[in-house]
Amino acid sequence: MNRALVFLLLVAIMTGCFSGRKTSHERLMRGAPDWVLQTPNHPSYYHGVGMVPKNQQFDFRERARQVALNELAGSISVTISSSSVLNYFEFDHLSSEFFQDNIRMSTQDYLEGYELIGNWENDQQYWIYYRLSKIRYQQIKQERISRALTSSRSKFDQARRFAGQGRMADAMGFYVRAFEDIRDFIGEDLKTQVDGKETPYATALMADFAEQMQSLSVVFPTEKLLIKPGSLLAPVEPMVVNKNSEPIPGIPVSGRLSWLPGRRTEAVTDARGRFRVVPEGVKPGMQNEQIVCVIDMDRIVRQNTSDMLVQRFFEVVRLSAFTLPVEIVPPVFFISVTSSLPSSRGNLKVDAEFDEEIRRILRQEGIAISDDQGKADYSLVVQSNVSAPVQHGSRFSSSVVATIDLLDNQGNSIRSRRIDDVSGIGMGAAQSIEDAFSSLKNKFRITVYPEIIQPLF
Amino acid sequence: MQYKSTSILAVFLIISLLNTGCVTRRMAKQASGYELAGMFREAAELYYQAAMRKPKKIDYKMGLNRAGQMYMEGLASDVSRAYSRGEYRKAVYDYLEMQGFADKVRKTGVNLRIEHSTQRTFENAREIYLAERYELGQRLVGEQNFDEARKIFVEIYRISPNFRDTRSYLNTATLEPMYQNGARFFSHRNYMQAYREWERIAAKDPGYKDVRQRMQQALNERYKEGAVFLLNEDFSAAARALGDVYKVNPGYMDVKSQYIEARNEPVYRAAIQNLGSGRCRVAFRGFEQIIADAGGNYKNALLLRNEALGCASFPIALLSNPMPGNHADGEEFENILIQMILESKDPFIKIHKLADINQRILRAFQGATGSLNRTMLRQLHDRNGIAAVLVLNFSQYQKTAGSLQRAEKTGFERVAVEDQDGERSYRDRQVSYMEYSRTNQVQIIVNVQLVSTFTGEILLSRRYSQTESDEMKYAVYRGESKNLYPATLRNNSYHIDERNYASLQRLLNADQTITSPDQLRDKLFSELNINITQALITFDPER
Q: Residue B481 carries which DSSP code?
A: G
Contact B134 A14 (CB under 8 A): no
Boundary (domain end) residue, out of A184, A214, A244: A214
Boundary (domain end) residue, out of B312, B330, B351: B312
For residues A324 and A415, membership in a common domain is answered with no
Contacts of B240 (CB under 8 A, 6+ apart): B226
| Domain of residue A364, CATH code | 3.30.160.180
**Rounded to a whole number, what is the distance in Å from the CA of B231 to chain A's nearest CA?**
6
Contact B36 A53 (CB under 8 A): yes
Is residue A105 less than 8 Å (CB to CB) from chain B?
Answer: no
For residues B157 and B272, membership in a common domain is answered with no
Nearest Cα residue in chain A from B80? A98
Asked whether residue A20 is assigned to any structural domain, the reply reads no
Q: Which one of B140, B214, B231 has the shortest CB-CB distance to A397?
A: B231
Instruction: Tell me the count of A-B CB pairs closer than 8 A.
Output: 99
For residues A149 and A187, membership in a common domain is answered with yes
Asked whether residue A346 is assigned to any structural domain, the reply reads yes
For residues A324 and A347, membership in a common domain is answered with no
Asked whether residue A223 is assigned to any structural domain, the reply reads yes
Is residue B19 less than 8 Å (CB to CB) from chain A?
Answer: yes
> How many domains does chain A contain in total?
4
CB A402 within 8 A of CB A383: yes
For residues A369 and A429, membership in a common domain is answered with yes
Asked whether residue A23 is assigned to any structural domain, the reply reads no
DSSP letter string over A78-114? ----TTSHHHHS---HHHHHHHHHHHHHHHHHT--S-
Asked whether residue A114 is assigned to any structural domain, the reply reads yes
* Torsion sign across C-alpha atoms A28, A31, A35, A39: positive
Mean pLDDT across chain B, nearest whole number?
Answer: 92
Is residue B229 less than 8 Å (CB to CB) from chain A?
Answer: no
| Domain of residue A248, CATH code | 2.60.40.10
Tens of pLDDT, residue by residue, chain A (457 residues):
455 555 555 554 444 444 444 456 777 888 899 999 888 989 999 999 999 887 655 678 888 998 899 889 888 877 888 888 888 888 877 778 778 878 877 877 788 889 999 999 988 889 999 999 999 999 999 999 999 999 999 999 999 999 999 899 999 999 999 999 999 999 888 988 888 888 899 999 999 999 999 999 999 999 999 999 988 889 999 999 999 999 999 999 999 999 999 899 999 999 999 999 999 999 999 989 999 999 999 999 999 998 888 998 999 999 999 999 999 999 999 999 999 888 766 677 898 999 999 999 999 999 999 999 999 999 999 999 999 899 888 889 999 999 999 999 999 999 999 999 899 999 999 999 999 999 999 999 999 999 999 999 9
Above pLDDT 90, what percent of chain B?
A: 82
Asked whether residue B362 is assigned to any structural domain, the reply reads no
Nearest Cα residue in chain A from B230? A392
For residues A442 and A384, membership in a common domain is answered with yes
Asked whether residue B297 is assigned to any structural domain, the reply reads yes
Residue type at position B131: A
Asked whether residue A355 is assigned to any structural domain, the reply reads yes
Q: What integer pLDDT is reported at residue A346 of this predicted model? A: 65
The neighbouring-strand residues paired with A118 are: A129
For residues A435 and A361, membership in a common domain is answered with yes
Which is more confident, A85 or B407? B407
Distance, CA of A36 to chain centre: 52
Asked whether residue B518 is assigned to any structural domain, the reply reads no
> What angle is formed at CA B138 by the lines to CA B132 and CA B141, rounded to 5 degrees?
145
Distance, CA of A288 to chain centre: 24
Per the structure, the complete domain to which residue A72 belongs is given by: 34-136
Q: Which one of A53, A309, A424 has the shortest CB-CB distance to B37?
A: A53
Nearest Cα residue in chain B from A418? B187
Asked whether residue B91 is assigned to any structural domain, the reply reads yes
Q: Which of B25, B88, B187 to mutate to test the interface with A (most CBs of A within 10 A)?
A: B187
What are the pLDDT digits (tens) for B115-142?
888 898 899 899 999 999 999 999 999 9
Q: What integer pLDDT is reported at residue A4 of this predicted model? A: 55
For residues A356 and A420, membership in a common domain is answered with yes
For residues A223 and A183, membership in a common domain is answered with no
Asked whether residue A101 is assigned to any structural domain, the reply reads yes
Q: Is the pLDDT of residue B434 over 80?
A: yes
CB A186 within 8 A of CB A202: yes
Boundary (domain end) residue, out of B164, B193, B227: B164
CB A399 within 8 A of CB A392: no
Asked whether residue B12 is assigned to any structural domain, the reply reads no
For residues B155 and B273, membership in a common domain is answered with no
Contact B86 A101 (CB under 8 A): no
Is residue A102 less than 8 Å (CB to CB) from chain B?
Answer: yes
Distance CA A393, CA A427 (A): 10
Asked whether residue B477 is assigned to any structural domain, the reply reads no
For residues A343 and A284, membership in a common domain is answered with no
For residues A64 and A82, membership in a common domain is answered with yes
ipTM of the complex: 0.72
Q: What integer pLDDT is reported at residue B10 of this predicted model? A: 54
For residues A85 and A160, membership in a common domain is answered with no
> How many domains does chain B contain in total?
2
Q: Which of A7, A94, A125 to mutate to test the interface with B (most CBs of B within 10 A)?
A: A94
What pLDDT band is residue B372 in, cutting at 50, 70 and 90? Answer: confident
What are the pLDDT digits (tens) for B33-77?
888 777 889 999 999 999 999 988 898 999 999 999 999 999 998
For residues A167 and A236, membership in a common domain is answered with no
Number of H helices, E strands in chain A: 13, 18
Q: In what order do the strands lie in the sheet with A321-328?
A: A225-227, A321-328, A289-295, A252-257, A264-268
Q: Which one of B214, B224, B232 has the shortest CB-CB distance to A439?
A: B224
Instruction: With CA atoms as reference, report the closest residue to A322 among A252, A235, A256, A272.
Output: A256
Asked whether residue B128 is assigned to any structural domain, the reply reads yes
In total, chain B counts a number of residues equal to 543
Contacts of A30 (CB under 8 A, 6+ apart): A122
The neighbouring-strand residues paired with A268 are: A252
Boundary (domain end) residue, out of B131, B164, B197: B164
**Rounded to a whole number, what is the distance in Å from the CA of A372 to chain B's nearest CA?**
31
Contact A57 B120 (CB under 8 A): no
B408-430 burial: b if 16+ Cβ within 10 Å, else e: ebebbbbeeeeeeeeeeeeebee
Per the structure, the complete domain to which residue B280 belongs is given by: 263-312
Backbone angles phi and psi of B394, in degrees to 5: -95, 105
Is residue B512 less than 8 Å (CB to CB) from chain A?
Answer: no
CB B468 within 8 A of CB B440: no
Asked whether residue B176 is assigned to any structural domain, the reply reads no
C-alpha gyration radius of chain A: 40
For residues B147 and B34, membership in a common domain is answered with yes
Contact B18 A57 (CB under 8 A): no
Q: Which one of A14, A57, A93 has the shortest CB-CB distance to B37?
A: A57
For residues B270 and B157, membership in a common domain is answered with no
Distance CA B275, CA B510 (A): 62
DSSP letter string over A147-203? HHHHHHHHHHHHHHHHHHTT-HHHHHHHHHHHHHHTGGGTTS--EEEETTEEEEHHH
Boundary (domain end) residue, out of A328, A352, A380: A328
